[in-house]
Amino acid sequence: MRKSVEMDLEYLNTLDHPPYDPKTLHSQAAVNDDVTVNSWRETWIRNMKENHRRYGLFKDSGIGKMFGEFHLKPCIVAGSGPSLANNIEVLKEKGDIPLMSCLHNFHYMVDNEIDVNYFVTLDAGKITIEEISEGGKQDHEYYLEASKNYTLMAFVGTDPELIASWRGKVLWFNCPIPDQKCKEEFEKTEVFHHLVSNGGNVLGAVTYIAKAYGGANPICHVGADFAFGYTKNFHPWKSKYDGKLGAEPVRTVDCFGNKVLTWASYLNFKRHADSIPLRCPGEWINCTEGGTYGVYPEGLIRQIRHKSLREFIQGYNLYKCMQFQAEHPENALEATGVPGMIPQPKILF
């Protein structure tokens, strides 16, 4: 049954601590590591060797080249959850605030003319190739041509055909895979220690690079739902995953206390994301305006602050309204916008 309901959304209360300690959250997030490794081991190794054969030493084009680029700056980190549709227009107001995004958002960012500093890909499957344009307004070739204007950060085990189709710059990273055969085969090809911890999820990789390599603080997340939307949509665009809940979807709550559905794997990704602010100093802000990041039935964990994206961006751009006064100290009279009130110098607060 579906009904349209007008609702005043309010964030849940804040918890001093999550119901689980960081170690428990991390162990829950890693519960499927063995299955993932056994399923992907040979693909990772094969892709890595082929990328090395085609493109040369990874260290010559590693993500270390952007080290410190965001030091003393905030960074917006974009996932591809359904709530991204709610604030995609607000992203246009970000000005010079850096933005890093999952590659799956590529067509969505291009269609909406959003300036992105880096796109990141982690998946080793060929599905990443079609995801460049899946749900976009243009054909696949249009987005491949647009990629020449962007930099892609790619796991060395990325499908080589994705790299071949990308027309912009590529920077490589490696991952600390918990598997001895992978470690041996990777280091036999090239010892490459631009390591990116990720929790098995590309949003985790984006977050890690922005913080550990870019040096950004605070980190502001958007599109970090880790769940389906209220209409069982999985992305902010029409997607083949919409309504594909699987045999046993997990019912949980979002930041407003409303019930949402997710996959067990995405619940584990969320647990990894929740554990990061408990282990890593800094400011962590969730501007997803929906979803399950930092959320428990009891409330929102204090280590992740929830606010609207517009409020976050205004905090950095508000000073711009004082520019006229700064440049005209001899006469900074400005219209107040209040009928009947004469122009006067602006006082910010």
Phi, psi of 208 (to 5 degrees): -65, -45
**What is residue 139's predicted lDDT score, i.e. its pLDDT?**
97
* Residue showing tokens 């949509």: 233
What's the total number of domains in the chain? 1
Q: Measured between alpha carbons, how far is 288 from 39 in angstroms, rounded to an integer? A: 32
Query: Which structural domain, as residue segments, surrounds residue 299?
Result: 14-307
Residue 37 lies in a domain: yes
Peptide bond into 82 cis (omega under 30): no
Residue 317 lies in a domain: no
Query: 31 CB contacts (<8 Å, ≥6 apart)?
Result: 268
Global pTM? Answer: 0.94
Q: Which of these, 151, 167, 170, 200, lies nearest to 44 by C-alpha position? A: 200
**What is residue 60's predicted lDDT score, i.e. its pLDDT?**
98
Neighbours of 217 (CB within 10 A): 17
Residue-wise pLDDT tens digits, 86-133: 999 999 999 999 999 999 999 999 999 999 999 999 999 999 999 999
Residue-wise pLDDT tens digits, 316-340: 999 999 999 999 999 999 998 899 9
User: 124: number of CA atoms within 13 Å, CB side?
Assistant: 21
Q: Measured between alpha carbons, how far is 42 from 173 in angstroms, rounded to an integer? A: 18
Residue 278 lies in a domain: yes
pLDDT above 90 (res 142): yes
